[in-house]
Chain A
Amino acid sequence: MSERVILFEDVSKFYGEVLGVNRVDLRIGPGITALVGPNGSGKSTVMNLMTGLLEPTQGSVRVLGEEPSRSPALFDRIGYCAQFDTFPRRVTGLQFLVGYLTLHGMGPVEARSRALRAIDRVQLTEAAGRRVAAYSKGMRQRIKLAQAMAHDPQILVLDEPLNGLDPMARAELIDLFRELAAEGRHVIVSSHILHEVDVIADQVVLINQGYIVAKGDIPEVREEMVDHPMQVMLRCADPALVASTLFSHDHVVEVKLHEDGGGLMVKTKQAEHFYLLLNELVAEGAIDLESVAPADDDVMAVYRYLVGTEGGSL
């Protein structure tokens, strides 16, 4: 099983006396995994450890069963789109990809065909013959992505891949990440933009100041946060009556009436029980509900509770 995962065991990385990441335990399988945290939190360090560009000060990193810093052959199975917006000088998009594909041992014909396929996948075909230096920021992001996936790797490590892209391009790339994940690949994406992550990730790893503060899928992580009761927004016909009915149950810890008088905000320690209770009350005709919506089970709320930073762009 360890052959299929990325495994961090008690990994710490220090740059001299400066902490990169500390005591990281991670197990990442296929699908989209998002590393989320503010700038400088350690996301890139985790990615660089994963790709062998850094070695852990302590602990071990294994990628598909191998140590990345000691297994050059592993790079046939890893593609890394690093955060650096830099390229070799004077190359066109196509030359950039073909050049590095030859280092994967491909002949010129195969390298060119793979490069064109990857360029097509990121929709840069028309610009393939132009110099990368003349590309826009968004185009440079896409050509880096094409370079990372041109050799058809099992694992794609993408450091802030959506930076600098317009909304349309973002949507296209998110679809592409989903396609790649659906093909059974590991797609690891870092981001400091929470709503973006919420949309794309199967699981998230929240990092702050070098520590993993939470990992898993968001609802799971949210449920484990017993210190922060789940908030549910109800729109209903008689909010005062509904509030008194709900308050008689132990797991409901707070109810606030809406200013417009058309609903309430309920805090509950056991979301599952709460939803069952609502079902029963509606079935009995005790309350008249228009809508029910969780108010804080997204990655932004989770991050706000764990890290103390407001959601949105961190």
Chain B
Amino acid sequence: MSSSRRRLFGVAKLELRRQASPGRLLWYFLLAAAPVTMMAVVAWAVSKFGHPEGLTTAELQENYAHFFQGMVVRIVLFFGCATIFIGQIRGELDQRSWHYSLLTPIPRWQLVVGKYLAGVFLAWCFFLLPGVIGRALFQLPHGLAAFGDPRLQMEVLTYLGIAALGCLAYGGFFLAVGTLLRGPGYVVAVFFLIEWAQFMLPPGLKQLSVVYYLRSLSPVPLSEGPFAMLAEPLPTWLVVVQLLVYAALGVSLAVWKVRRAELDYRTK
């Protein structure tokens, strides 16, 4: 392994160890378990009491897609990534341990990127699968044979992709917020509102929202209700590129801040 790659790996490893407190791990686990548990309850209820009359496969798919966007994206990914990424540099400043990293011969941009990659790894470990497992549980009372259908397989893979991209984009955003702001709480609250109300925003402002992009990738077209301000649908490849740019922008802002920052714990 080259020295540079070893350093990057070292940063990521230190970050993972820092994040691996029992309290944090429990929080990530509970977040990840929430949609799975809810779908398990639904599966149990449907098995026990029978499913509502007249639900077609398309309606089942749409119901789960709404659940995925609401629960998995807006709650699990949002709060999971906020906890992981906001604390990456802000947490080190609060713990006054950031100088140990700054006093190593690793360029500051690599420190930020290494931490971001560690955060993405952690987020993927916890938050990639709940959406997929939830879909499987949702399907369970209706028969697992449906998983032989390539359309359902594609749907599951799409949820996996959405979760992966969501972690990247939320990660970039929250890393920047945690690095640039001393008290990021209010920004998180405003962003949370934006995520829930993005359908009412004008098309230009929608682009601030990660949900806006992730909804575009949904395997099932989703209605946004009567109050929605409609925007021109984007091709899938463009949405993916925009999400990657979104993530890169967040990481770049964090790098910019860290590169020009002086260490002064009195002001953090």
B10 touches A99 (CB 8 A): yes
Say yes or no: is B34 at the interface (Cβ < 8 Å to chain A): no
Give the contact stretch, choosing among B101-109, B135-143, B183-191.
B101-109
A72-B107, A88-B14 known; A102-B264 Cβ under 8 A: no
Closest to A76 in B: B105
* CA distance in complex: A30, B262 (Å): 27
Distance to closest chain A CB from B30 (angstroms) = 20
B101 touches A103 (CB 8 A): yes
Say yes or no: is A54 at the interface (Cβ < 8 Å to chain B): yes
Say yes or no: is B49 at the interface (Cβ < 8 Å to chain A): no
B17 touches A91 (CB 8 A): yes
Contacts of B264 in A (CB 8 A): 15, 54
* CA distance in complex: A91, B97 (Å): 12
B17 touches A88 (CB 8 A): yes
B99 touches A72 (CB 8 A): no
Bitwise interface map of B from 1 to 45 toward A, beta carbon under 8 Å scored 1, else 0: 101101101110110011011000000000000000000000000
* CA distance in complex: A86, B20 (Å): 18
* CA distance in complex: A91, B20 (Å): 11
A51-B103, A76-B105 known; A88-B7 Cβ under 8 A: no
Interface of B is mostly: helix
Report A85-102 residues with CB < 8 Å from chain B CB.
Answer: 86-91, 95, 99-100, 102
* CA distance in complex: A256, B53 (Å): 113
A105 touches B97 (CB 8 A): no
A100 touches B100 (CB 8 A): yes
Say yes or no: is A168 at the interface (Cβ < 8 Å to chain B): no
Distance to closest chain A CB from B111 (angstroms) = 8
A54-B262, A99-B17, A100-B104 known; A84-B6 Cβ under 8 A: no
A103 touches B11 (CB 8 A): yes
* CA distance in complex: A15, B266 (Å): 11
Report A200-255 residues with CB < 8 Å from chain B CB.
Answer: none
Distance to closest chain B CB from A22 (angstroms) = 17
Contacts of A84 in B (CB 8 A): 96, 99, 265
Say yes or no: is B263 at the interface (Cβ < 8 Å to chain A): yes
A90 touches B21 (CB 8 A): yes
Say yes or no: is A80 at the interface (Cβ < 8 Å to chain B): yes
* CA distance in complex: A105, B104 (Å): 10
Bitwise interface map of B from 137 to 152 toward A, beta carbon under 8 Å scored 1, else 0: 0000000000000000
Bitwise interface map of B from 149 to 186 toward A, beta carbon under 8 Å scored 1, else 0: 00000000000000000000000000000000000000
* CA distance in complex: A107, B6 (Å): 7
* CA distance in complex: A3, B4 (Å): 26
Closest to B2 in A: A105
Q: Which residues of B are at the interface with A, using a C-beta cutoff of 8 A?
A: 1, 3-4, 6-7, 9-11, 13-14, 17-18, 20-21, 95-97, 99-108, 262-265
Q: A88-B95, A100-B104, A105-B6 are in contact. List 8 more A-B contacts (CB 8 A).
A: A53-B103, A53-B262, A80-B103, A88-B97, A89-B18, A90-B21, A104-B104, A104-B105
